[in-house]
Structure 1
């Protein structure tokens, strides 16, 4: 598998990003920039071509591009983020996905939807009902995806669905049973619930989950570890720093 990896560099105001379920701790913007570069390099080395969205230095959460768009084949669903201060991030991401050749549709208010609440596994689309995504947002997304099965998921104590559960390349869900009522493989560490399938047996993971990485190696997978400590302080994980757009065909 290969294609485009949509990313956006963190700006100098990253430390001001929204924190909901964690206590705020100091964020090193310079280290975050270096970590983002290494994250992007890992995607490139796995065969994905990074495409950078226009910088948005006045928007602290802008590097978490996943929340602004949901890509389903040739369609890009532009979100209406649940946090009002994040809504200005969408326009520049919309321009980027259009340059990538995708058709766009948009979630309209009063519906709200964050991309971090959307987990696609084959023809099933799990959508977290969260503080950022409401029932109207779930219904609007379902209307844009005829032929897909959209499954709402109640969340407990996490920001987004993909803060609690993601999927391995074979479709196995991995995550925290305390946060979702789904059949999941439990990771060794909380950060191990977040994986990005890169193609084949490779999965991108945070370096803060070495035990889970070892478990996945025993299952025949090849973890690609990246240090994203500064983003984790803002409830970020490996999924939210990019949007993968597989090549056509």
Structure 2
């Protein structure tokens, strides 16, 4: 597997789970997450990132924001700069404000979504394009505002529809390499990945579709043996991380980090993205 700027990172930002994570938003009540167990799983996630050689910036918990552990929803990191999102859940708007005080340290350009709503969980950046799924958290105005910024930076944005009943577009998919996407049957059936190689998760294992390629490994939720075996058979190296507590509030592997590469030279503005 070759490295790509969409897959290879030197830096990740994470945020510790709060004690109030028990009140995190969820589509279906599967019980409240255990904060201690969540922190244990989160530590394993951070260790997996560090094991690839990445620097992991660990932000403190925000007790006023139960969902703030899911930092990916607050921003989109691209080579030209970072775009601060406008989360679709009103209770999460403050998370983006908090992140906006931190990200200028790592990016020369900081832009802000100025209309509608969009969350990072609905955005899949590949080596060819930016895929954005409309959902209950990302609306048409938000997609249009995002398109204005990324088009200015030379990107093609393709607007799609997240399947009914699915929180985020990336709940049902993850980028495995430059040409390959892991997807659920229901999302792939829409034809949105017709120009990519698609590997389908096993029936009954839809919750593992949100896997993350980070450098040479795939960060993969533990407990989905059939899909894990299939991915290994295709040559991928998996690091399986328990995700039971994050899953109770609709969180997956990509949600837990912002991924990019920062350069020490202030005259350079190329940061890798993910």
**TM-score normalised by L of structure 1:** 0.94
**What residue number does 1:56 align with?**
62
Q: Deviations over 1:199-225 (max 9, x none)?
A: 13x111101222211111111110111
- 1:43 paired with 2:12, answer no
Q: Which runs of 5+ in 1 are unaligned?
A: none
> 1:194-205 counterparts in 2 under 5 A?
194-200=210-216, 202-205=217-220
Which residue matches 2:267? Answer: none
The correspondence for 1:153, drawn from 144, 147, 160, is: 160
Say whether 1:176 aligns with 2:184. Answer: yes
Query: How many residue pairs align between the two structures?
Result: 246
1:125 aligned partner = 130
Q: Alpha-carbon deviation of 1:58?
A: 1.5
Return the alpha-carbon distance in structure 1 between the equivalents of residues 9 and 110 of structure 2. 21
- Contact 2:82-2:107 within 8 A present in 1 as well: no
Which of 233, 245, 248 is the aligned partner of 2:260?
245
Q: CA RMSD of the aligned region, Å?
A: 1.5
Match of 1:233 among 248, 259, 264: 248
| Equivalent-residue separation in structure 1 for 2:33 and 2:173 (angstroms) | 25
Confirm or deny: 8 A CA contact 1:2 1:47 kept in the other structure: no
Question: For structure 1, which segment, 154-163 or 179-188, has the greater mean C-alpha deviation from structure 2 after superposition?
Answer: 179-188
Taking structure 2 as the reference length, what is the TM-score of the superposition?
Answer: 0.85
Quote how far apart the aligned CAs of 1:97 are: 1.4
Q: Cα deviation per residue 1:159-190 (whole Å; 9 max; x = unaligned)?
A: 00000112111331211131451233211221
Match for residue 18 of structure 2? Answer: 11
In structure 2, C-alpha distance between the alignment counterparts of 1:219 and 1:103, rounded to whole Å: 38
Q: CA deviation at 1:26?
A: 2.7
The partner residue of 2:121 within 116, 120, 131 is 116
After alignment, is 82-91 or 169-178 more displaced? Answer: 169-178
Pick the aligned partner of 1:2 from 2, 9, 19.
Answer: 9
Instruction: Return the alpha-carbon distance in structure 1 between the equivalents of residues 84 and 180 of structure 2.
Output: 27
Larger relative CO (CA 8 A, sep 6+): 1 or 2?
A: 2
Deviation at 1:247, TM superposition (A): 4.2
